[in-house]
A and B are shown apart, each in its own frame.
Chain A
Amino acid sequence: MLDGTAIVRVFLRRFLACALWMVALSCSAVTPDVLEKLAFGDSDAKNAALATIINSADESAIPLLQALADDTVQTSPEKKVYVVKDGKGVDAATGKPVDPLPDNLDDVVINNVMRKQIGVAIAALKLTSASKDVRLAAAKELQGNAEEDALPALAKALAKETDADVKALLTLTQASIQLQSKDKNLRLKAIAELAQSNNPNTKTLLLGLLEKKDGNFVEADPDIRNAAQLSLNAVQSKLSTGERIAQVFSGISLGSILLLAALGLAITYGLMGVINMAHGELIMVGAYSTYLVQNFFRNHLAGAFDWYLLVAVPVSFIVAAIVGMILERLVIRWLYGRPLETLLATWGISLMLIQGCRSIFGAQNVQVENPVWMSGGIEVMTGVVLPYSRIVIIGFAFAVLLLVWVMLTRTRLGLFVRAVTQNRSMAACVGVPTKRIDTWCFGLGSGIAGLAGCALSQIGNVGPDLGQSYIVDSFMVVVLGGVGQLAGTVYAALGLGIANKFLEGVAGAVLAKICVLVFIIIFIQKRPQGLFAIKGRFADA
């Protein structure tokens, strides 16, 4: 897959290759004098020539510079300069094709320092391009590479620039060059300008000014240091806003994943009281179903590959639901009312499912590819990207939640399920087929686990151990949320997700996880029934 800049780069390369032949090289910026310096002069002369070209800010000089960088410029003893490619030559001064080429040509040798300078020059010239993408790419190229020679070109480009992104980047580049200057006022001005930035690189730049080495400040001038500190504070507050947004987002994202993983459990455990330790493996079944659907599309319906998820979602639901219903009929049915035994038996099921998966698909992770429309993301701020895949999963989690809620409150099955949960024998008396409802209910919970697997396959590894990593978390969510309560599950999932991500920022991933577990253990002591306790006589059951 090509990302934006790669496309631009490929485009540029093709464009330049054509331009080399199409556009006349005789242009205003490259006077014969400059051309001669570039081709025959020593490195000082070459630098001077480059500076002239940059100052001219004339885009038409790009092909020649590119040719220099590509080592396709050759000279003849008669002081003629040719751009030679694939055996065909163009006179650099006139832009006319030369045929046949003289056979006594010398290469113009460019050393690495020169090559970098030429790159900067090209980028500086590209800043005048009409295309925003080209300008943006050029501005990125300049950042970190440009030196004082590029300042006039930058100023010129800035004055003309209308696009905010490019402008911000250019201002930053300009300021970082000006910081290296000898003029104190220019430096102070540059520092003040940096305060407007929300780019993480600015922070690094400003921190560089405040650095201490062997007890002394690297920067001798206290005025500069004070100004830098002020700007740094401003930048940091902007950056921390961005960080916070990113944290909240990844927290909600983690929360929605937990929600997906725990929703099915909220049904099987919360409503039916079945401790299903194989729940994680049902998630795995869903993920592998997605993998199989993906393979089917790749082999037979390659044209519609981007839409395989639309098929994978129902397939993973149905496969996991069927597996769940079989399990209910064969094993769990015999253990109702004995939660600890159910726990052990379902653990056994999970071991068998894991091993079965290893035997069929191998112990390695399998590759599940995202459809193209799920790659990329929205950039809300510099460095804060919200990936589409995560956004889709957040939406998906809430869609599933809605589905479950509708199922439980608006359908006949839901009514029966609630009836059986509340009073099994009474429900049986009024003609609810309780045994069949158990099977369907377990199937529903398992199917939702399958949906979770389908979603997880899009953002994580799919392997036989997939389920194991979610089982503890899902139980924590259900227990924290309170048994038999969808609302509790939602709050617990999102709360845990966000708390986890914020703690990760403070204490690191592992400690955050430990803190959350300890918190849950303490919380359960205080409120053994979870966040949302069922009140009344069922609370004791």
Chain B
Amino acid sequence: MMDKSLFSRLYGPRAWIAIAVLAVVALVVVPLCNLVVPKDSVLHISDYTVALIGKIMCYAMVALAMDLIWGYTGILSLGHGVFFALGGYAMGMYLMRSIGHDGVYKSDLPDFMVFLDWKAYPWYWKFTDHFWYAAMLVVLVPGVLAFIFGFFAFRSRIKGVYFSIITQALTFAFMLLFFRNDTGFGGNNGFTDFKRILGYAIATSETRMFLFALSAVVLIAMLLMARYLITSKLGRVLTAIRDAESRVMFSGYNPVNYKLFIWTLSAVMCGIAGALYVPQVGIINPSEMSPANSIEIAIWVAVGGRGSLIGALLGAGIVNGAKSWFTVAFPEYWLFFLGALFILVTIFLPTGVTGLIAKLAKRGPA
């Protein structure tokens, strides 16, 4: 009985069917079309498309995380890129060490360290050759950073634009730090040229398909978890904080704890997304931490519709789909389009695409 009530609490039957269909598409149809269907067939899905969709699914996780913190709690973070990149770097460290002796210099150390004339791994690279340790870092590094940062920021009641700006300063500072060669993360070039993951060659279609399917599973899991959170009492408090923080305080709740929880969770989600992103895209570099990247995350959510989890997913899909189409078809107009999107959505579509659809649906049958 418990299970059933949980099911119905999360989504209605139609939404469950939609999620199931998507899961089947991602876990059965796409792998079949990519691996089994012959290359010259109409139904064949190319490796490029798989990688693209995989990448967008990672972005969608970030959008979910952003929606939790911005759409539901009303805290606009302009620094989510840093958590994404840190997760990516943690996974990248493991992938770099898995290259082993196959680098250009055939050394124990990654090529960029040989290049800097380093003789040993710095202390923070210790144990990163173990997958479980790297996986732990993926969760812990963004989580701990977010917890510390959030603890101080929320405790001193920094909110609104101030919070946005200091998160921007945070990601900017990290970007500068990671651009330094001496920081020990490959400087400008970051990590690339990965060879294998958990012993499997990373470039084969099978490995890629596994990562793709894994991303799909994680994405759906995150969606359900987020949905579980926001339909719980905690979710209601979060929404209340968004709408009237003082009243929440006067009603006897301490908003700091709630904000800190959702903020840290959101950062961890970004870290996991980053960790899934890096092996699929094959590179991580400090430009992921640029303030521009982080602010773009906000527009995914704004386009899809703040305060709607499905909206966040839609937004990430629409914006990134448009981006990969534009940058191929009309590279010089992409920024115009993105810029116009920022302006038009904020002025004319405050509830995003999902809000628009809901409005049309309401008007339609009547």
Contacts and interface: CB of A to CB of B under 8 A. Distances in A.
Interface of A: 275, 277, 331, 334-335, 339-345, 347-352, 354-356, 358-359, 468, 472, 475-476, 479, 510-511, 513-514, 517-518, 520-522, 524-526, 528
Interface stretch (B51-59, B173-181, B265-273): B173-181
A352 B344 CA distance: 13
19 contacts: A331-B343, A334-B347, A335-B346, A335-B347, A344-B298, A344-B346, A348-B346, A350-B339, A351-B342, A352-B339, A352-B340, A355-B332, A472-B168, A472-B291, A476-B165, A510-B176, A513-B173, A521-B169, A525-B155
The residue among A347, A358, A476, A520 with the most chain B CB atoms within 10 A of its own CB is A347
A407 to B, nearest CB: 25
Contact of B342 (A345, A479, A522): A345
Interface residues of B, number: 44
A334 B347 CA distance: 7
A46 B261 CA distance: 87
A306 B299 CA distance: 46
Interface string B305-335: 0000000000000000000000000001111
Interface string B149-189: 10011011110111011101110110011011000000000
Q: Which 6 A-B pairs have the closest CB atoms?
A: A348-B342, A352-B339, A351-B339, A355-B335, A517-B173, A348-B339
Contact of A520 (B157, B169, B347): B169
A475 B168 contact: yes
A345 B165 contact: no
Given A344-B302, A355-B332, A359-B332, A528 B162 contact: yes
B161 A347 contact: no
Given A350-B339, A514-B177, A524-B166, A345 B347 contact: yes
Contacts of B350: 341
Interface string B50-85: 000000000000000000000000001000000000
Contacts of B153: 525
B145 interface: no
B341 interface: yes
A340 B76 contact: yes
A339 B165 CA distance: 12
B343 A348 contact: yes
Contacts of A343: 76, 161, 164
B346 A345 contact: yes
Interface string B333-366: 1111011111101110010000000000000000
Interface of B is mostly: helix
Interface centre among B160, B302, B335 (most CB of A within 10 A): B335
Nearest to B172: A472
Contacts of B346: 335, 341-342, 344-345, 348
A359 B160 CA distance: 35
A528 B160 contact: no
Given A340-B164, A355-B335, A514-B176, A525 B343 contact: no
Contacts of B157: 528
A343 B342 CA distance: 10
Contacts of B149: 521
Interface in B76-96: 76
A248 B342 CA distance: 42
Nearest to A517: B173
B295 interface: yes
Interface string B282-308: 000000000110010011001000000
A526 B156 contact: yes
A510 B160 contact: no
A409 B180 CA distance: 45
Contacts of A334: 347
Contacts of A511: 180
Nearest to A472: B172
A339 B298 CA distance: 14
B170 A521 contact: yes
A341 B352 CA distance: 13
A513 B155 CA distance: 26
A510 B160 CA distance: 28
A528 B159 CA distance: 9
Nearest to A516: B173
A526 B166 CA distance: 13
A304 to B, nearest CB: 37
A404 to B, nearest CB: 22
Contact of A351 (B76, B162, B335): B335
A513 B333 CA distance: 33
Contact of B160 (A340, A355, A475): A340
Contacts of A525: 152-153, 155-156, 158
Nearest to A353: B339
Contacts of B173: 513-514, 517-518, 521
B286 to A, nearest CB: 11
Which among B160, B161, B176, B180 has the greatest number of chain A C-beta atoms within 10 A?
Answer: B161
Given A335-B347, A524-B158, 6 more contacts: A275-B161, A335-B346, A339-B160, A355-B332, A475-B165, A479-B162
B164 A345 contact: no
A476 B169 contact: yes
B164 A348 contact: no
A520 B338 CA distance: 31
